[in-house]
Structure formats: C-alpha cells, structure tokens
Structure 1
C-alpha cells in the first residue's frame, strides 16, 4: 500500500489530505479473497435458510458506537469506546445505549476530537478511498475595549476606539486595572483621564478603586475624584426592568412560546391573521422576544395585548395550541406594560442621540423614581410587589447623589439649578435633599476654582513668552542700526496690558453669573432637540472658564453603549471562519475602521447592526 500525505497550512487551520491507493498488481489475490467471501461450505444444505426471515437492518446511529456479540447464546452490545457490555432488549429500544454514551468518558473525549468526513469515489477500474480532515480551532479569547470621548475644536462630541485588546483570565479587578494602565501609557493618555464609565460588575468596582488611588497620587483628578467613577445608566435600567419582569415570568414565557408556535408555520400564521381580520383589528404585526433586550420584551407584550381576543379563538381551531392566558393574566400584562412604558420612553430619549450628553439623564432618573414611588402604593398586590423590588434596586445604585449627572444638568442652560431644586425633594427626603443641593453648590464652586487655577497657570507662561518675544523683536530692530534698544512698540504694550487683565479676579465668578441669569427657554416642542454644547459654543467668550468646564463635563458618557457597539462590530470581524485571527490583527481592524470613518465623516451602516425588533408581518 502506498501512502501520500500532503500538509497544507492555511493560517492556523492545518489541512491534512491522506490519499491511500490500493495496489492493482495482485489481482489474483483480490479475486481469491472475494471468492472466499461467497464460498459455500461443504455439507451445507442450500435450502436450509431459504425460508428464514431476514434479520432487520439496524438504522439507529448508536450502532456506530456499539458492536453486537453473543454471550451464552444471548445477543448483547459492546461499547467500542469503554468495552462495556449492555443487553439488547427484545423490543429493539436503544434508550439505554444513548444513556450510556452520554456518560461514557472515552466516547465524550472522542467526539471532541478532530472531525473526519469520509466519502468514496470511483477512479477507473481501481477502487480508492479518500479521507479529508478539517481542523477548526475554536479558542475563546477575551477582549476589552477602551473608548475615548471628547469635544473637538468645533464643539462636536467625538468618540474614538483607543484599544481593543486581549485580556487573559482570570479577569480580576487587579488584572483589569493593570491592562487599563498599560493601555493609557501606550496611548500617552495616562495624565488626561478624567472619568471612567463601566457597568456594575463586581470586579469593575475593584478596578475603579485601584485606578482612583493611582490617579489621586498623581493629583490629576478633579474635585478629589468625586466624578471619577460613572456607572452605566443603561445597565442599571436593565437591572430594574429585569427585576420587574421576573414577577410575571410565567406569563411572559407563555406569550413568548405561543407567538413562536404561531410564526414557525406559514399555515398557522395565515389562520391567525384570518381571525384578526374577522375581529377587524388594525395591528398587523407580531413581535418575537429577544432575551438580551428588555424593551423588546415590553414590545412583545404590548403587541400581544392587541391580539388578546385572537389567541383563544385560535385555540379552538388548533387543538395543539395551549398557550392561552386567562383574563386575569391579561390584566396583569396590561398593568405591567403601563410601568414598562415609562422605562421604554426613557430609553428612547437617551438612545435617540448618537452621543447623549450628561445633562439628559437627571430628568429621566427623577421620572423613574416618581413612577416607582406611585406604583409602590398601587392597589394591585403584584404591581406593588414589582415596584417595591425595583425601588430597592433603584436605591442601591441611585440612592446617593450622582454628582456627575447633577453637575451636567446644572450646566444645561435650560435647567440650571431649577431642575435640581425640583427633583431632589422628590427623590430624597428632608433634610437629605437640602444637604445634596448644598453639596452640588460646593462641588460646582470647587470645580470652577480648579479650572481658574489651571487657566492662570497656562496664561502666565504665555505672557512671559509674549514679553520675551517683544524684547527680542525690539533688540533685533535695534541691531540693524547698530544700537541696542529695549523700547516696546505701542501695540506690544497694549497687547501685554490686555493679557495681564486675566490675572485680576472678577467680583463674581462665572458660576455665580451663570446661575443668576434666567434659564434658556426652548421653543415649544424643541426641548429634545436642544443642543447644550451649541449654546456653550455661542457663549464661550462670555464664560471663558465655565465654558471649558462645561465642555469637559458634558462630554462624559453615562452609558457604555458605544463600547458595546464596538463589541458588536467585533463579532462581525471574529466570525467562525476567522476565529484564529491574531489579537493584534483584530485590534488593527476595529480601531483602524473606527478612525478611518471618523476621518472621512462616514457613519456605520445601520443594517449591519443587530435588529432591535424581530417583527413578523401578518399575511
């Protein structure tokens, strides 16, 4: 037998092609072996087996892992992996064989090995076989994305993916903190970090504490790090809603399974649509549940409410359909949807902008707190229980005053302190509400003082440089005539005087002047379209220092949506056919694509993103 082995290396996939050709010279030997298989033994009666019933063909796939044998004239099956022997029942059932394979360790180990595809083909008069082996390595690689948010010189909010790199396990807080520190140093941003926004994982709290201590030693954090740690608003909202939906989990599962049963068949969907037409229902769509999106569950339930009269009538036509809610269950769904409707509207407002600024969140947090407070006193027990459970989660994450969210609202000229004075008595009890208002005043003044000091430090070297340049130009002019003169021109002296005015402290600070003025009244219906950054751009000459502070505060993200969208893009880069890309190549592809889009003003194609709703149109 001749054997030819060809190794083809394609990236990390190694393809082994084994071709085995049976020699055709020994035709006599092949003929003798074939004849021996069909030879009739001497003394055998040819009519002996003529009327015997043929044995039944074994079609079960378990016989690939078992072989039949005789023990004391009794048929039994032996596992080819562990050599265990199991009796064969007279009925031919194979349940015990499947049960054995599920617990057979050698069989499980063999199933995880390289998969082999075998096939036969004819090549002239010579029989030959081929075996093609494909090794696809599925290695689980953990990545972390670092996204930077800032405002450019045209006062446009910008986002860039700085790093998308591998973080090997274990993913403890210390390891994540070290990985972030290396990322900051690599990008030369170790002294420019003001805040970090993360979700509510426990290891992230350890990470933030380590980084906060490091940056505090360097004295690079504003107001002693009180604004450094930002919790993801979207993640907290998701936790609140998941706690609420869990109170009617059985009802949600019943609606979800019923819709799945209907949409899986075109005939069932047509029958369902006919009943809806007979009842003259205007709604023409069903929505499937997406477990990773809580608002999709709300849309599924609210849509199912429109067809509440269709489901029992469909049950009369299809005896296999058993997912019908009672009248009381539909009332529960309706009451829960009233609560979730508020969360859905809040999510729309926050996610309606590509880059929501920090001033948008405080009104929505107050709205959630107000709804939960009212529903905690609802007459329905299950609504009251749901609201109380969600309220406990609310107090856990937003019970303390979120300074970044509040300062962002104060720097919105359409809110200022009026929104804080309106919301805090609703969110907090006295005297805590008054203390939190004072706390916001103190933080705002302290933050402004730090920006004033930074402004004076940068202005002083510029004034010295301007003075030296004026002296140098004067001496240069004098040297041309051979006489050294230190006399300044009138324009240079005037410019020096104008710049020196910055050192004089005004009677009132920028925050005091800003808060004394009336709020900006938006046109009716244009509240959600108001751009706070555009207002500060127009008033930067009036508030030279406060506008810089507003620029930094409003650019801080309170959600991790942008980072999650980067992971969605990463899922399209690292697909099952490109699972072996090196981590450096993945980082180049994702970071490079993000920066190229920003450079040329391109936007992501929306049809590549995961659809927010799975809608099924009724025929």
Structure 2
C-alpha cells in the first residue's frame, strides 16, 4: 500500500498545473506533463490528477468535463458566488444536467406554451430557431430541448386544431339556428381565400361567434363556385339542419351564390352604408373639397419642416398634438375622419377657410354613427337594420334650410339607401327581427298597417313553431273570428287548435303591451329574464337575433390573416393558414 501511495505521489509530482490563462474550473483537476526536454508543457493530452488518465486536449474543455462526469461524479460541484464578488464560472454539473424528457409534464407544458404563443401572438414556426428566443428558453429552463419547427407545424398545430375544433363542434350542437358571414380575400401571395364565420345564441342568451374555416379558392369567384364552397362548409360543420341565414356584401356574385344555395340572405348593412356614403363623396362639389384637404394633409405628411411647424403652432394655440389624416379610398369613414381632423387643426395649419368642410362633416355624421352601431358584436344587430335604415332615410331628406352642398350629399345618400332591402322576404325578416327586439318592438318606424302585418306574420311563425311545422301556418286571426265552441265531436281538434291560437295571440298581445326596453339595455338579458313569460316568442327571438347584421366579422378576420400571411411567411400553405386563423380566433373557448 505504501509503495502504491509513493507511486501516486511521484506521478502526481510530474503533473504541472495548467497556465494561469486557463480560467475554467475544470483545470483544478487536470494538468499537463512536461515535454521530454522539460522546457514547456505537452498540451496534446490533459492528465487527470485523480486517476492519472490521459485525456485528449483539443483546445477546449469538453473532453475533461466528460471524463469527470463519467469517472469522478463526486468532483462535480456547483459554482459558488461569494458575496460581494463576481459570479464564478458554472460548475461542471451545470454543463451536464439531465435534459427533460419530451414526455415529462414540464416539457409538455413548455411545448404547449410555445404553440399557444405561436397561435395567439401570430408568431411564425421559425420562431423556435430564433437565436434570441432560444436564449430566453435556455435561461428559463436550461434542461428543455426545443422541438423543431417541423414538429410544431406538422404535429402541435394539428393537435391544437383538432382539440379546438371539437370544442367548436360541441358548442354548435346546442345552436337552434345559426347566422353565417361569408367574404373573399386575396393574400399578398396572390392566393384567394373564402372566409366563413358562424354566429348563434347559446342557452344563456349570449352571442357566440366562431371562425369556421378559411379555404383557398383556385377557381374564379363566380356565384356557382362560391355556392359550392358555402354548401361544402355547411355540410362539413353540420349546419344544414340549422336553417342558416347568410350575411354577405352586395356583390352580384355573392347574391347569386346565396340564391343557388337556397339559404336566406341578408345584405351587410355596413356595406350598404359604405356604398351610400361613397356615392355622396363622389358628388363633384364634395370631391373638390376632399381633394383640397387631401393635398394639405399629404403635404404635412411629406414635409418634415411643415410637420415641425404644425407642432409649434399646435402648442402656441393650445390645440391637441394630433397629426393630419389622409383618407383611404376603400373606407368612406376615413374621409370623414380626414375632414374632422382638418377642422380641428385648421388654425394651426394656417389654411384658407374651407367653410363647406364643416357642412360636409355635419351631413355625413349620421352615417358614421350608424356605421359604429353596426360594428357591435356582443349585441344583436339584425334587429337594428330596419329602424336605422328608416331613420337614415328621414335624416337624409333635404329641407329648405340646407345649403346646395348639403342637399347634394343628402340626395345621393337617400337615393342609394332607398333602393336597398326591397325584397319582401328580406324585408319581412328584418321587420320581424326588430319586432322580436324589446328595444324596437313598437315598430315606430313603420305605418300602423305595416306593424299589424308584421305581427300577423310573427304570430303565424309562432303557431307553426308550436305545432312543430316548419311551414307557415294559416292566418290565425281569421280562425278566431269563427265560432270557438265545437258543433260536433268531430270538431274537437279544430276547437283545440283555435284555443291554442288564442293563447298564442294573448302571448303576443302581452308582449306588445309590455314597456319597451331602453336603447342602452341588452335585449338578450331581457329575453333571458322573460323567456318563461313568452315561451314561443323567446324561441323565435333565439332564432332571429343570432343573425349578424353585417359581414364585419369576416372582414376583421382578414385583417388578422394579413398579419399571418406576411412578407416573411408568404409561402405558408393554405392548410396552415386555415389552422392558424381558426386557432387565433377560437382558442379562448
């Protein structure tokens, strides 16, 4: 034993410490032999001071770390930071921590978190290859191995899509009737897509909205092709039995498509407002004023010295520090905003007085208010169309006090609005929807004859609903004018039906006599509290008020689509684009 100890001491004495420039803590346990002439260190091999094993030295300490971890694990100790000193280099064990198993709960939670961030934050799959992202994950959890972008694209997104889709399908099963919005869009990669969203009222009288799908359309956007895509979407999601009502813009191909499907069609009221307002903006005298303001706004946007002068004038005059706005051709309300901002900043701009600008803004204000009302998503909007349409027709009727410019604006808007919603089927749907909204049930925008006609049709629908017959029933009013008592035993069923009709009529009468709900109140909350008092009408309200009054929901999704299919992701496949949009809009359910 003494001989072996002497041999170890002799061998240990031959090992020279590593140069002072070698800062790694691993050199505490390794050194070098001297060359044969003893003039310098032999750095081809590092020598373990514990077992005297020779470890190949290649300019880094990887081989030494591996040797210690494998043969001397007791020497692996954590680095200790001395109070008041700089942190020491991490211990050997820090480099050899066991990695998390992909099947562990911790690894799965982090992987799911990354996938959720990709969907909710619209991050590309290549995010996992980003140097900064990988550094962040390593700081948060050094043991986690980030899966590849292919793993997220081909496995995680498919799994999330399947899970979320199952929840959407489960929610749709509870819907009695649904409203669909449909619109087309072309990405920056010049690929055409057709978007569908669904809307319904759940059992708690809350409006639920989901993005169903965003499908690429290789064919031309004819009515027949759009009809095929719409019917395929309804079949895929099991919506045929829910009597869908489809809301689209006023494009002729959309109108043809819905007619071919046989679904009920409602034209987007926001689009109607845009068309009428755009027509007013094209009036020669209006276009001339807009051109002047647009040139002023563009000048201040392009000239830095003019922009600085504007800021100085704003401060001097105590005006808000707002920039001038330049309108966009596709959004009529951007012209309104441009004119309003110009009037606000006119003293600072030092422009000549454009007196007609104020008249234009005032004349267009009702259209802006109507547009903002129709952009609401949490409250029913189908019931707002008929009263709002009637109100706008009244507001755009010229008076003697109006200036020639205002008369032209009102005339253009009134003429365009007057030709909208002339179909009897569409008109009946809108009026009955308003009648089923406790805010508008008095139907003050209609004549007494039209009010009576609307409630007669509503009564007919209620009776058909009670009998379980989807087809319209006969005129109950005429039945009630006959004798109620049966003349023979064979007339018993007829008498029961008449008595039932009387009950239905009383329910409608009580509903009409109830106080109207203030415009600021939620009609769905009112129906939730009154559904037992008006069982038939509440079912009809459930089936009517779920229909959106605009296709704004689909258009808003396209704004998100533009963020997903960006210049950096223009090669994203249609399938992945569909999944990402679906998850972005539906993951929170």
RMSD of aligned Cα (Å): 2.7
Please say if 1:587 is aligned against 2:586.
no
State yes or no: 1:515 paired with 2:509: yes
Does 1:423 find its partner at 2:445? yes
Aligned counterpart for 1:307 among listed residues 340, 345, 356 = 345
The change in CA–CA distance for 1:580 and 1:174 in structure 2 (over 3 A counts) is same
Q: How much has 1:255 moved relative to structure 2?
A: 1.0
Aligned to 2:217: 167
Structure 1 counterpart of 2:390, from 363, 366, 370: 366
Give secondary structure in 2 for the equivalent of 1:423: coil
2:463 aligned with 1:449: yes
Q: CA shift at 1:192, angstroms?
A: 1.7
Q: 1:366 to 1:184 in 2, by over 3 A?
A: same
Structure 2: segments with no counterpart, 5+ residues: 1-186, 472-495
Q: Report the count of equivalent residues.
A: 373
Show the counterpart of 2:249. Answer: 199
SS at match of 1:508: helix
Match of 1:337 in 2: 361
- How do 1:272-421 and structure 2 match up within 5 A? 272-278=310-316, 280-291=317-328, 292-311=330-349, 313=350, 324-325=351-352, 327=353, 330-374=354-398, 379-399=402-422, 402-416=427-441, 418=442, 420=443
What is the match of residue 552 of structure 1? Answer: 543
CA contact (8 A) 2:246 2:265 kept: yes
Tell me how far apart the structure 2 counterparts of residues 242 and 275 of structure 1 sit (CA, whole Å): 33
Question: Could you tell me which residue of structure 2 aligns to residue 246 of structure 1?
Answer: 282
Deviations 1:232-288 (A, max 9, x none): 01000011111112221132122122122113344322312333444x354432341
Of the three residues 178, 181, 195, the one matched with 1:145 is 195
The alpha-carbon distance between structure 1 residues 528 and 266, as it changes in their structure 2 partners (threshold 3 A), is farther
Matched, 1:183 2:233: yes
* Partner SS for 2:219: coil
Give the counterpart of 1:211 among 251, 254, 261: 261
| CA deviation vs aligned residue, 1:155-193 (integer Å, no higher than 9, x gap) | 210011112101223111011101111111122222223
Q: Deviations over 1:506-529 (max 9, x none)?
A: 36344642334533355xxxx343
| CA separation of 1:528 and 1:285: change in aligned 2, threshold 3 A | farther
CA distance in 2, matches of 1:521, 1:449: 24
The structure-2 alpha-carbon separation of the partners of 1:438 and 1:383, relative to structure 1 and needing over 3 Å to count, comes to same
Cα deviation 1:302-355 (Å, max 9, x = unaligned): 2211333443x4xxxxxxxxxx55x4xx22211111111111122223324445
Question: CA distance change for structure 1 residues 364 and 138 in 2, over 3 Å: closer, same or farther?
Answer: closer
Residue 356 of structure 1: how far off its partner (Å): 3.7
Cα gap change, 1:187/1:251 in structure 2, threshold over 3 Å: closer, same or farther?
A: same
Using structure 1 for the length normalisation, give the TM-score: 0.56
Q: 2:557 aligns with which of 553, 566, 570?
A: 566
Indicate conservation of the 8 Å contact 1:378/1:384, yes or no.
no
- Aligned-partner Cα distance in 2 for 1:204–1:551: 26
Distance across 2 between alignment mates of 1:193 and 1:448: 16
- SS of equivalent residue, structure 1 residue 556: coil
Q: Which residue of 2 aligns with 1:255?
A: 293
Aligned counterparts of 2:525 and 2:509: Cα–Cα separation in 1: 18
| Structure 1 alignment gaps of length 5 or more | 1-136, 216-227, 314-323, 426-432, 458-501, 600-619
SS in 2 for 1:196: strand
Distance in 1 (alpha carbons) for counterparts of 2:357 and 2:540:
46
Q: Does the Cα contact within 8 Å between 2:393 and 2:418 map onto a contact in 1?
A: no
**Structure 2 SS opposite 1:158:** strand
Cα distance change, pair 140–386 in 1 and its aligned pair in 2 (3 A) = same
Match of 1:233 among 262, 269, 275: 269
Q: CA deviation at 1:455?
A: 8.1
C-alpha contact (below 8 Å) 1:176/1:207 kept by paired residues? yes
Mapped contact 2:374–2:550 kept (Cα < 8 A): no
- Aligned-pair CA distance for 1:411: 1.0
Cα gap change, 1:138/1:440 in structure 2, threshold over 3 Å: closer, same or farther? closer
Contact 1:414 1:519 in 2 (8 A): no
Report the Cα distance in structure 2 between the residues aligned to 1:290 and 1:405, rounded to whole angstroms.
33
SS of the residue aligned with 1:348? Answer: helix
Change in CA separation of 1:439 and 1:261 when aligned onto 2, cut-off 3 Å: same
Q: Is the 8 A contact 1:511 1:546 kept in 2?
A: no
Question: Higher strand share goes to which structure?
Answer: 1
> Relative to 1, partners in 2 of residues 1:571 and 1:506: Cα closer, same or farther, differing over 3 Å?
same
Q: CA deviation at 1:407?
A: 1.3
Measured in 1, the distance between the counterparts of 2:458 and 2:470 equals: 18
Query: Partners of 2:298 and 2:364 in 1: how far apart?
Result: 22
Residue by residue over 1:375-428, the C-alpha shift from the partner in whole angstroms, topping out at 9 and shown as x without a partner, is 5x5542232222222211111114556222221221122332x2x2x2124xxx
Deviations 1:22-54 (A, max 9, x none): xxxxxxxxxxxxxxxxxxxxxxxxxxxxxxxxx
Distance in 1, Cα, partners of 2:294 & 2:504: 56
Most deviating of 301-310 and 508-517 = 508-517
Local SS of the residue matching 2:242: coil
Distance 1:510 1:257, change over 3 A: farther
